[in-house]
Amino acid sequence: MTCLQAAINAGADAVYLGVDVFNMRCGASANFSREALPEASRRCREAGVRLYLTVNTIVFEDELPKVEELLAFAKPYIDAAIVSDWAVFLACKRLGIPIHVSTQMSCANSAAATFLKEMGAERVVLARECTLDEVSEIKRKSSIEIETFVHGAICVAESGRCFLSHEAYGFSANRGECRQPCRRFYRVQEIREDAHSTATFDVAGHTIFSAKDLFSLPFLDRLVAAGVASFKIEGRGRNAEYVATVTKAYRTARDAVLAGTFTPELVRELTEACTRVYHRDLGTGLYYGRPGKEQFVADGTENLATIRKMHLGVVTEYYLRTHTVLMKVHNDALHPGDKLSIQGDKTGVVELSPAEVFINGRSVTKARKGADATFACATPVQPGDVVYQLNKV
Ligand code: SF4
C-alpha cells in the first residue's frame, strides 16, 4: 500500500497490481490481499488514477472456477484486467471487465494486435522484443491501444517464455514464482567421455544470462512519437522510494515531451534521479534492435543505487497545525540538514531535509538514539511511519 500511495503521489495515471494468485508476483511477500483491494481502489478513484488487476499466469483446468471467482470479486474495484490466458480473456468478456493483453501473451506484430482488438481487447502490452520501429508500425497498422515497458528489469528469455526458474528450482516464472536464476553466477564444466576432466571455468560476471535493466527515459520522446498510449514501469517488488522516484521521473519526462521542453539537461537530471534508487546496469532493452553483448550486465553488480537508506526511527505524532513531526530516534543519529525519507502506507514516500532539529523545543545539532525529536515537515505524515536517513554510497 505504501508503494501504491507513492505511485499515486508521484503522478502515475494508473497502477497495476496482483491480488494473491494468478499474477507474476505470486511469490512476493508484499503482494496485495483481497482485503486490501477495496482500499487500494478507493485511493485510486479518489486520486483519479486507474487500477488494473494483473491476472496473467498460466491457468490450469482445475483453476478455471477460481479465476472466474477472483475476477467477479475484483470487478467493482478495477478499471481493467491484464490477462494472458484465453480462459481469463473470455471470463473478462463474460463479466464485462475491460481487457488489457499482458506482455506475457508475446504480441509482437500488428496482425496479432488487430486480432486481439477484434476479440474484445482494449489495449495490448507489446512483447518486450519489439523495436521502436516495430512499435511504431504495429500502432500504425492496428487501432488497438499500445502499452510498452519503459523501465526496469528485463528477462533474458522472450516475454512469457522463460522456463529457467522452473528448470533450476521447480518454481515457474509463468506461475509468478520466478526465483531469477538469470541473475546468478555460473560455472562452465567440461564434459568429455573418457577424458576424466574436471576442468571448470567461472563465467565472468553475469554476462551470460543477465540482461541490463531497461532505461528508456532518454528516448521517451521517440516512444511518444510512436503512438504508445501508456508507459509501464516494471516493479518486481521494489521498495517505495523506487516507485516514487522512477514514477516521478517518467511523469516529468512524458509531460516535458508533450510540452516541448524535453531537453538533454532534463534527461541528465532525471537520469541522475533514477540512479539514486535500485538499479542494475542500464540499457536500451530491445528498442534499438536485437541485443548484443552490450545489453548484458558487465560485472555482476546487483544494485548500483547511489543512495542507500538507513532506518532512523519512527514518527510518533504529526501536528497538523504547526506542520511538525515528532519522531522517536532509533539509530544514531538525526542531524539538521540530513536527507530523510518518511514512508508509510497512507503517506507513501515523503522526502525532506529539515533545516533544524529540536529536542524539548531546543534546537540541537544531533538527536541521538532514544531521543524524541521534532522538525518541520510541510506534507502531513502519520504516526507509525518509518523515517529513513538517505546517505550517498
Ligand atoms: S529467470 Fe530471469 S529471464 Fe527467466 S523469467 Fe525469471 S527473471 Fe525472467
As averages over each run of 10 residues, the pLDDT of the chain (393 residues) reads 96 95 78 94 98 96 97 98 97 98 96 98 96 97 97 85 91 90 87 79 78 96 97 89 97 98 98 95 93 80 90 97 97 96 97 97 97 97 97 93
Q: How far is the CA of 161 from the centre of ligand 1 (A)?
A: 9
Q: What is residue 158's predicted lDDT score, i.e. its pLDDT?
A: 78
Q: How far is the CA of 234 from the centre of ligand 1 (A)?
A: 13
CA distances to 87, 160, 221, 231 from 62, in Å = 12, 21, 45, 34
Q: What is residue 197's predicted lDDT score, i.e. its pLDDT?
A: 79
The preferred substitution site among 106, 155, 234, 297 for testing ligand 1, maximizing ligand atoms within 8 Å of CB, is: 155
| 150 and 243 fall within a common domain | yes
Q: What is residue 142's predicted lDDT score, i.e. its pLDDT?
A: 95
| 314 and 190 fall within a common domain | no
Which residue do the cell numbers 524524541 mark? 372
Q: What is residue 364's predicted lDDT score, i.e. its pLDDT?
A: 97
Q: Are 194 and 208 in contact (CB under 8 A)?
A: no
Q: What is residue 374's predicted lDDT score, i.e. its pLDDT?
A: 98
| 36 and 140 fall within a common domain | yes
**Pocket lined around ligand 1, Cβ cut-off 6 Å:** 155-157, 162, 164-165, 173, 178, 180-182
Q: Whose CA is nearest to atom 1 of ligand 1?
A: 180
Q: Whose CA is nearest to atom 3 of ligand 1?
A: 155
| 172 and 225 fall within a common domain | no
| 238 and 386 fall within a common domain | no
Q: Whose CA is nearest to atom 6 of ligand 1?
A: 180
Domain holding 316: CATH number? 2.40.30.10
CA distances to 218, 303, 304 from 282, in Å = 11, 11, 10
- Please state the separation of Cα 87 from the chain's center in Å: 26
The C-alpha atoms of residue 306 and residue 215 are separated, in whole angstroms, by 16
| 130 and 237 fall within a common domain | yes
What sign results for the dihedral spanned by CA atoms 9, 124, 229, 233? positive
For 354, the domain range is 307-392
Q: What is residue 196's predicted lDDT score, i.e. its pLDDT?
A: 77
Give the N- to C-terminal CA distance of the chain in Å, as an integer: 28
Rg of the chain on CA atoms, in Å: 23
| 225 and 200 fall within a common domain | no
| 375 and 256 fall within a common domain | no
Q: How far is the CA of 178 from the centre of ligand 1 (A)?
A: 6
Domain holding 220: CATH number? 3.20.20.70
**Entry pTM:** 0.92
Q: What is residue 206's predicted lDDT score, i.e. its pLDDT?
A: 67
| 331 and 351 fall within a common domain | yes
